[in-house]
């Protein structure tokens, strides 16, 4: 708790400053130094330490957090506690950052059932709904680890007709998403489902689910995200509407 405002109030009220300092265990000289804008020894020490912290943080290109900065200070024979380093970095708005970790989500299965590309990157909307679906998996970083989201989108309505969220990327993830689409939309036989060549979509189990529901599978080139063309067409359409 800061006691100087209380001493200042006592002074303004005409009370004895020396007595207030004695009761609050603050030296009279320190009070007047702070009152007159003279930095205390602690403030001077903190400023010098923060200068070194800022230099180390800059040398790391902003990647070092308090633990690594503290370790580097000790390596340079600068005595400083972890809590003080953390406090000064927080006050200065300095924090470490890490490079975004890349997670590969498309893993081809060499033994999977083969399917042709029936979409040929024609992701434009068709007249009939529930005739062409596209699916993909994306990953989400959470405090508890990675979460994986599988979605199914109808190219005609541009709506998400099925989705599934899990902490794994097994075939059940995409099966659950497609099963939800069946329950929500009840498409007729002959529906085309397009995806990348990930092992989840090209697995025998997923092909069996598709056949059982009259779905024709379509796969794109390796590493091709089926939503890339979908979003490109949407941006082009929005641009045309804005120009009109």
The answer to whether residues 144 and 237 belong to one domain is yes
Last residue of a domain, one of 69, 92, 115: 92
User: pTM above 0.75?
Assistant: no
Q: Is it the case that residue 111 has pLDDT exceeding 50?
A: no
**By three-state DSSP, how is residue 148 classified?**
strand
pLDDT band at 122 (very low <50, low <70, confident <90, very high): low
Q: Is it the case that residue 112 has pLDDT exceeding 50?
A: no
* CATH code for position 146: 3.30.420.10
The answer to whether residues 167 and 225 belong to one domain is yes
User: pLDDT at position 171, please?
Assistant: 92
DSSP single-letter state for residue 95: -
User: pLDDT at position 88, please?
Assistant: 92
The answer to whether residues 151 and 53 belong to one domain is no
Average pLDDT, the chain: 79
Angle subtended at Cα 29 by Cα 23 and Cα 35, rounded to the nearest 5 degrees: 95
The answer to whether residues 79 and 30 belong to one domain is yes
The answer to whether residues 85 and 150 belong to one domain is no
pLDDT band at 224 (very low <50, low <70, confident <90, very high): low
In the chain, % of residues over pLDDT 90: 39
User: pLDDT at position 232, please?
Assistant: 43
Spell out a b/e string for 74-84, using b for 16 or more CB atoms within 10 Å of the CB, else e: eeeeeebeeeb
Give how many domains the chain has, as a whole number. Answer: 2
User: pLDDT at position 37, please?
Assistant: 55
- The helices-and-strands tally (H runs, E runs) of the chain is 9, 5
d(CA 3, CA 42): 16
Q: Give tens-digit pLDDT for 125-170.
A: 666 899 999 999 999 988 878 899 999 999 888 899 999 999 999 9
Q: Give tens-digit pLDDT for 130-142.
A: 999 999 999 998 8
The answer to whether residues 157 and 239 belong to one domain is yes
The residue-averaged pLDDT of 181-202 equals 91
User: pLDDT at position 176, please?
Assistant: 96
Q: Is it the case that residue 228 has pLDDT exceeding 50?
A: no
C-beta separation of 126 from 153 below 8 A: no
* Residues of the domain holding 219: 132-243
pLDDT band at 34 (very low <50, low <70, confident <90, very high): low
């Amino acid at each position: 708790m800061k006691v100087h405002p209380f001493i200042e109030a006592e002074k303004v009220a005409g009370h004895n400053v020396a007595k207030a300092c004695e009761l609050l265990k603050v030296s009279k000289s320190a009070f007047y130094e702070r009152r007159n804008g003279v930095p205390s020894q602690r403030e001077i020490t903190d400023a010098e330490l923060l200068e070194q912290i800022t230099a180390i943080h800059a040398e790391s290109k902003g990647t070092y957090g308090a633990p690594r900065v503290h370790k580097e200070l000790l390596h340079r024979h600068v005595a400083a506690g972890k809590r003080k380093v953390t406090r000064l970095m927080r006050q200065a708005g300095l924090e470490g950052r890490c490079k975004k970790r890349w997670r590969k989500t498309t893993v081809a299965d060499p033994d999977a059932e083969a399917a042709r590309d029936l979409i040929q990157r024609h992701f434009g909307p068709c007249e009939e709904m529930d005739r062409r679906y596209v699916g993909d998996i994306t990953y989400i970083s959470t405090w508890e680890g990675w979460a994986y989201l599988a979605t199914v989108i109808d190219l005609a309505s541009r709506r998400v007709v099925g989705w599934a969220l899990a902490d794994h990327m097994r075939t059940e993830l995409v099966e659950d998403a497609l099963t939800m689409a069946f329950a929500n939309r009840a498409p007729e036989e002959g529906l085309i489902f397009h995806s990348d060549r990930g092992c989840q979509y090209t697995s025998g189990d997923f092909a069996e689910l598709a056949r059982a529901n009259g779905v024709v599978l379509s796969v794109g080139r390796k590493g091709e995200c089926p939503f890339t063309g979908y979003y490109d067409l949407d941006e082009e359409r929005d641009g045309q509407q804005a120009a009109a």
